[in-house]
Amino acid sequence: MPNNSCPTPLPSAPEKTAWRFASPTEAGSNSLPEVFASVRLPSGNAPWFRRFLAFVGPGYMVSVGYMDPGNWATDLQGGAQFGYTLLAVIMLSNLMAILLQALSARLGIATGRDLAQACRDHFPPIVNITLWLACELAIIACDLAEVIGTAVALQLLFGIPLLVGAVISVLDAFIVLVLMNRGFRYLEAFIIGLLSVIAICFAVQVVAAAPPLAGILKGFLPSTEIVTNSQMLYIAIGIIGATVMPHNLYLHSSIVQTRAFERTPVGRREAIRWSTWDSTIALMLALFINAAILIVAAAAFHTTGHQDVAEIEDAYRLLSPILGMGIASTLFAVALLAAGTNSTITGTLAGQIIMEGFLRLRIPHWARRLLTRGLAIIPVVIVTAIYGSSGVGQLLLFSQVILSMQLPFAVIPLVMFVSDRRKMGEFVISRKLAVLSWIVAAIILLLNFKLLYDTIFPAQP
């Protein structure tokens, strides 16, 4: 095992904006200490491909959040209502995600801090509490989507009532505990396996839908209608909120530290390079799946007079008859169940990272999982009891808008830190990349302000 402790000298005067690299000998300094530097790497003279494979995993764990059940609601509704037009938004949000996740990995590897720890070290307590609450709200909104997605999938596949399915979803806490106890690589392998199931299911459906290539290519070109049409903009912001997950930025900055790379400039530089490739390739898979959901919805519903399809249950019921393939609906539900199960694992880890990073508070994993899942089940139970399954669909879409509203609370601190040479040292991002990162942050802010304005002052018919 390489030496993981390589601290740099402390500053001569107290300076809130200067850090030193964390040392494993410091109690509680490591993010996810139970798996910190637990994944061994091949020797330095091993082929590059083996070195790269050793870093493969965290990117796919992060990509789970970019194809969770919340994405399904926004992608299905966007495809059914507006055809292929919002493919451009999926592409834009995915490019944003690739950039932001690369910055997140860089922060964790270069500083030895995850994003939550970095915020705690930099900001005053009142700001940290605000950021922590925003993160917790984002995780609950994400967990809400996972509860709904899992419950709906169980209902479609086995006829289990929504409320019962929501309660059953609590049991996923034990999956996390078992896999974490086996080792972090087992957790990564489980997630990659379920991602493969989702990809295969949608690849089959896209082939069955036979969408026009010209329409797809045109959809990837941005249209001004996305901004001028309030309904389209609402769904577009939901897609960005569902794609660029705020808690994923905290998650990625932590789990990249599970690799036992040398905590030296050379070791960190190599780790940043391979981790960036890992997340970029994984997020391209997420792009394919998100685009496939919208493409299937556009081909099956928008062009056949079913533009009002907004519920996952309606999509499940109509897919097989419209596509003329009996297994299409079953594949759809299986992929939904895999997505819901996968997302709960990363949500659990993100919750642990955020609570430990901001508050230095550690509670048992099962307690953290049950707490978060319990808070997510409450609104599902209330809405289901009052409005039925149709209300659950609206709640799912609304959860993604909430996620979008939390994005600035994660994006702005991240860009601040990786642009600061006092914190990053030689690993600070270039001026051009910093400008691009701030542009992405500004776009996210503008879209959120637009959404807030339209919510408070809706356009008159």
pLDDT tens for each residue of 402-439: 776 777 888 999 999 999 999 999 999 999 999 999 99
Q: Residue 283 pLDDT more than 90?
A: yes
pLDDT for position 416: 95
349 inside domain:
yes
Tell the residue number behind the tokens 């509203």, with chain if given: 405
Residue 157's domain comprises 59-456
Would you say 18 and 425 are in contact if contact means Cβ atoms under 8 Å apart? no
Burial class, 216, CB count within 10 angstroms (exposed 0-12 / middle 13-18 / buried 19+): middle
In 220-367, the DSSP E strands lie at none
Instruction: Report pLDDT for 372.
Output: 64
Q: How many CB atoms lie within 10 A of CB 385?
A: 11
Q: Which residue has the higher pLDDT, 140 or 200?
A: 200
Domain-located, residue 11: no
Sign of CA pseudo-dihedral 289, 258, 277, 94? positive
CATH code of residue 247: 1.20.1740.10
Helices (H), strands (E): how many in the chain?
A: 20, 0
Poorest-confidence range of 238-252, 349-363, 443-457? 443-457
Phi-psi region of 223 (alpha: psi -120 to 50; beta: other; left: phi over 0): beta
Residue 388 lies in a domain: yes
pLDDT at position 88 is: 93
- Mean pLDDT across the chain: 82
Span 135-183, pLDDT tens digits: 888 777 777 777 778 888 888 899 888 778 877 877 776 777 777 778 8
Query: How many domains is the chain built from?
Result: 1
Which SS3 state, helix, strand or coil, does residue 259 take? strand
Helix or strand holding residue 460 (H, E): none
Average pLDDT value for residue range 345-368? 79
Higher pLDDT, 245 or 288: 288
Q: Please give the average per-residue pLDDT across 49-72, as a whole number.
A: 86
Residue 413: inside a domain: yes
In a domain, 63, yes or no: yes
What average pLDDT does the segment 3-9 reach?
Answer: 44
- pLDDT tens digits for range 73-97: 778 888 999 999 999 999 998 999 9
Q: Per the domain annotation, does 38 fall within a domain?
A: no
Q: Where are the alpha helices (DSSP H) in 210-327?
A: 213-219, 225-228, 230-243, 246-255, 265-300, 312-323
Tokens 């808690």 appear where?
A: 247
The total number of residues written for the chain in this structure: 461
88 found inside a domain? yes
Asked whether 231 and 441 are in contact (CB, 8 A), the reply is no
Instruction: Categorize the per-residue pLDDT at 369 as very low, low, confident or very high, splitting at 50, 70 and 90.
Output: low
In the prediction, which pLDDT does 18 show?
Answer: 43
Q: What is the pLDDT of residue 364?
A: 72
Q: Domain for residue 24, yes or no?
A: no
